[in-house]
Structure formats: structure tokens, C-alpha cells
Amino acid sequence: MELLDGKLVSRAIIDALTLQVAQLKTEGKKIPHLAAVLVGNNGASETYVGAKVKTCAEIGFKSSLVRLEETITENRLLNLIEELNNDVDIDGILVQLPLPKHISDEKVINAIHPSKDVDGFHPVNVGKMVQGLPAYVPATPHGIMLMLEHYKIDTKGMNAVVVGRSNIVGRPMSILLSGNTNPGNCTVTICHSHTRHLEEICRNADIIVAALGKPEFVTASMVKPGAIVIDVGITRVPDASKKSGFALKGDVKFDEVAPLCSYITPVPGGVGPMTIAALMKNTYAACAERNGN
């Protein structure tokens, strides 16, 4: 069993971007600028956005964190996005999800100009991705593809099972793994809460991507010996022994599954850091595209 070390791979990507930004600076070119919008005080969202802003600073990107009250109206948020769309210095916009219930995710995502949609959630980018055209690809599935690429894992012809059908991870992951790309060229099954014989389907998988957000859902009896297991889950579970009061749990029962695998991602330190690295790559690309770098 080999660990797919997201910290190590993301470090390599972040170091490469840092060099590229230093080069832009010496050439007097535009530096990538990410605007991150955070609505309310969701603890996990605060952590994720904080990590994104911190990584921008480390690379040398500019970033603007826009913090908004939980009670902000949908209209005010939409107007703010329009201002960010029109701000020529800003290359990428992300609005951290989930949003409060009174705000429509769909309206907010649709309001972001596709050329600044570094999360890859806008229907224009989703449509391009489905067609295999250049597009901003959602950071988590993009990060997983970069990880498979880094470890030179040849996925051609493999049976891939994606558990979870969210727009952020499961669906785009299924599209990318089935694409005529390397990594890619998998035969993909996408499973969800209504799937019958889930255990059996997973047991036939050469690659399992667990992205359903249920701690320790994937157990040893669901995994074929030699399978590759990618764990997207990162749920806060109460744990009095931790200073924070919670432990982070993946969607995979790591201790019993890991010995069976050819490769597996740990939680934390697997997919999480790759998500941030992929977002940074998207932001760099958005700046290059807009400014002809």
C-alpha cells in the first residue's frame, strides 16, 4: 500500500506557482488576484477560506477576503458579485458554499462571470468540461486528477466507482474519470443514496472515490484487494480528547481499508491540500487568460 500524499504533491504545485509568480513580478506583469467571499460564520467554511487566502499569500498572489453577515440579502450579494466581475484587477472569484438558506446557490453561481469562475461551478464551465473543452474544473476533482497524474497511475480501462453525486465533487469527478485523457479513460459508475447493491458495485471497483460526506462509510468489505481509494470526506466529529473539540473523519474506514489498497489518500493530508493547489492553478490560469501572460 502506498499513501497518496496530498501535502507533498500540493507543495510541489505551490512551489512551482511561487516561481511562476516571481517571474511575473520581474517581468512587471499582472499578479493573479483571487477574491474569496465568505457569508456567515460556518466554522468549516472559515477554515477552508482561511487556508485559501493563506496559500495565495504564500504563492505571492493577491487576495481579497470579503466577509459578509449571515443576514445579507441575496440581492446585495448578487450586486457585490457584479462589482467583483467588473473589477479589472480581480482574476478569480469564489463564493464559499454552503450559503445561508435564504440565498440561492444557483443564482449566485450564475452571477459569477465564467472567465472569473475559478471554482468551475458556472454552467458555461460545466458544459465545456463535459464536452472535454478547456474550462475551469472544480478544484476537488481537478486536484484528484492532478494527484493521479503525479503518481503516474495509469487509470486507462479501470472500473471507477464514484460514491456521491454532488455538483462540487461526484458529478464532475465522474465526467473527468470517463474522459479520453490520461489519467481518465475509466468506465465510471456513479452511486448515490438510491443505489442498489452498493457494496457489490464498490467491490468491483479498481478505483473508488468516496465523496458522500458520511464518516467511515466505506469499509473493508466494500473494497477489492489492490484497489485505489480516494477519500474526499472531511467531516468534523465531536472528540473531547482534541483541543478543537472535534476530529476530522474521512468517508473511508482508513485503518481497515488501507491494508487492502494499492494506493489510498489519508484524511487529513490527502485530497484537502490538492483542492487548494487546484484552485491556485485555476486562479493562475484565469489571470494568464485575462492578461495574456
Q: Is 96 a catalytic residue?
A: yes
Taking CB atoms, the residue at the shortest distance from ligand GUN is 97
Provide the minimum distance between the beta carbon of 48 and ligand GUN in the complex, in angstroms, as a whole number: 7
Strands 92-95 and 159-163: unpaired
Provide the minimum distance between the beta carbon of 203 and ligand GUN in the complex, in angstroms, as a whole number: 29
Closer residue to ligand GUN in complex, CB, 92/179: 92
Closer residue to ligand GUN in complex, CB, 1/237: 237
Q: Is 118 exposed, middle or buried (0-12, 13-18, 19+ CB in 10 A)?
A: buried
Total residues contacting ligand GUN by CB under 6 A comes to 8
Question: By rule CB under 6 A, what string of x and - marks binding of each residue 25-64 to ligand GUN?
Answer: ----------------------------------------
Provide the minimum distance between the beta carbon of 49 and ligand GUN in the complex, in angstroms, as a whole number: 8
Catalytic residue among 62, 96, 117, 249: 96
Within 10 angstroms of residue 75's Cβ, the number of other Cβ atoms is 10
Within 10 angstroms of residue 192's Cβ, the number of other Cβ atoms is 13
Closer residue to ligand GUN in complex, CB, 95/147: 95
Catalytic residue among 52, 62, 253, 281: 52
| HEC string for 72-134 | CCHHHHHHHHHHHHHCCCCCEEEECCCCCCCCCHHHHHHHCCHHHCCCCCCHHHHHHHHCCCC
Host H or E run for residue 44: helix 43-59
Residue from 222, 211, 216 nearest 176 by CA: 211
Provide the minimum distance between the beta carbon of 272 and ligand GUN in the complex, in angstroms, as a whole number: 10
Q: Is 52 a catalytic residue?
A: yes
Residue 50, amino acid: G
Positions 85 through 124 that interact with ligand GUN (CB under 6 A): 94-97, 119
Closer residue to ligand GUN in complex, CB, 91/119: 119
Catalytic residue among 119, 231, 251, 281: 119
Provide the minimum distance between the beta carbon of 60 and ligand GUN in the complex, in angstroms, as a whole number: 22
Positions 153 through 172 that interact with ligand GUN (CB under 6 A): 168
Calculate the alpha carbon distances from 273 to 19, 85, 167, 230 in Å.
19, 27, 20, 13
Specify whether the backbone of 201 is left (phi greater than 0), alpha (psi in -120 to 50) or beta. alpha
Q: Which residues would be at the binding site for ligand GUN (CB under 6 A)?
A: 94-97, 119, 139-140, 168
The residues that are catalytic are 52, 96, 119
